[in-house]
Structure 1
Amino acid sequence: MVSLPADTWKRVTEASRLMHAHGQGELSGRLFEAAGMLFEDICCAFEIYGRDGSHLIWENIPFPEAKRVAIQQRVGELVPFEHPAFPYLIEGSRDCMRISDLISQQDLRKTHLYNEVFCEAEVKHQIVIPIHASNGIGGMTLNRGGRDYSDEDLFVASLLAPHVVTAYESHLLLSEVAPKKAKKATLDYAKLRDLGLTRRESEVMSWMVEGKRDSEIGTILNISVRTANVHVRNILTKLGVETRTTAVTRVINEGLL
């Protein structure tokens, strides 16, 4: 394990908190700002290659503006075939990778990826933070010219890695539920309230019907998992049932929502 100065540990903590500050700007901006707190002279990219063949890319790389869209498209075409880290992603690796550990500069310069993408922004060195998400695989890359990344840099990236993945998964969940959440906010839950459920318990019950786990309900309603657990136990008691499956069945069959 690499020994880090106390100040670096503090910045890692601050960066991870920023990544999870949902509702405070776009995820891409938070991820890139967090990385900038820990690494000097970098630009970043975040990519997901979906199981449906889609390619998501966010980046703040200084590409020529007139070429940006074309370069992004070319990245999606080249990375799966030429990036030396991609085979490791396919194999399921979750270890952060320094591109110089995977390929020599001489061999990298022979690739279309280097000549058509890296050269456009004078990128020579890169750390890849692997992402294995529910909707695909990919990575967040830390890019720069000049000096290569040190062992300490690689270790710091590994500390950041799980926060990158969790922040993205939370982003997917929140994006999925946001329209439903807005719709549910207009409901009065009259029938459930008549049974003695509070407004919050009624909201929790509505998400139980949607098949959400306590942890997901906590994220949606901005409450702790423990509080969600308490609400679920209260719901079961008030409905006179022993399991959440029975509670959901009753609510659906009796048209209580």
Structure 2
Amino acid sequence: MLTQADLADLQYAKTLLENPGLAARISNAVGTPIEKGLAMLPEGANEMIVTTTRKALETALDFALYTLDEEPQRSTNWLHKTFAGLSGAAGGAFGLPALAIELPVSTAIILRSIADIARSEGESIKSPEARLACLEVFALGGSAANDDAVESGYFTVRAVLAKSLAEATQYLAVHGVAQKTAPPLVRLLTQIAARFGIPVTQKAVAQSLPVVGAAGGALINTLFVDHFQNMSRGHFIVRRLERVYGTETVKLAYLKL
């Protein structure tokens, strides 16, 4: 049985994880439904977004493997949002073409924020498992059409990624230094990219609207960072409780809430 305090934490985590609402928040910010913006994307935009998303995740993987073991300067969520807002201003000013430059920067900033949140929830960020759990957060930010409606979307995503995460973790434990072309890492990044691309597309659509501009681009990027900070907080609360009570116990309690 979870304590009342831990149940309250779990309820908070579920509220964050099951009600992301990024598209609605962006639509409110720009005053236009994202769905209408999708029809305005130029030809070849989807392919460019897919390629850019994959490159951003590869950058994030390098960042996770080679810099997250450094002792961090403790920084707050608002500071990460500020840096991401500055990079988002470029996206708003120059529209879709700036995404290829801006997204890898934003993704690295978000990953640093995710790592700080993970540490605050007791993760040992030097371990391969914790580093890959940070990358896993990027898959939690968008829902897919084939999600299992019977079970929680959060645990569905984790179940889909479980095998690839285990293989990638084992690879890193054995080889230490990672090659991005290693099959376990390629499979994991491919799965994460398929879901990360959903909120990236929403962000790209919003920043490509003529009415957005630099100020709007900064606001959209701030919402984008806040979205993944929420996903991260919820994810690492669940993982913290799993270390105490076991995965199945926490999952059953989560589904009953």
Calculate the TM-score normalised by the size of structure 2: 0.31
Larger Rg: 1
Q: Which has the higher strand share?
A: 1
Calculate the TM-score normalised by the size of structure 1: 0.31
Higher RCO by CA contacts (8 Å cutoff, separation 6 or greater): 2
Q: Which has the higher helix share?
A: 2
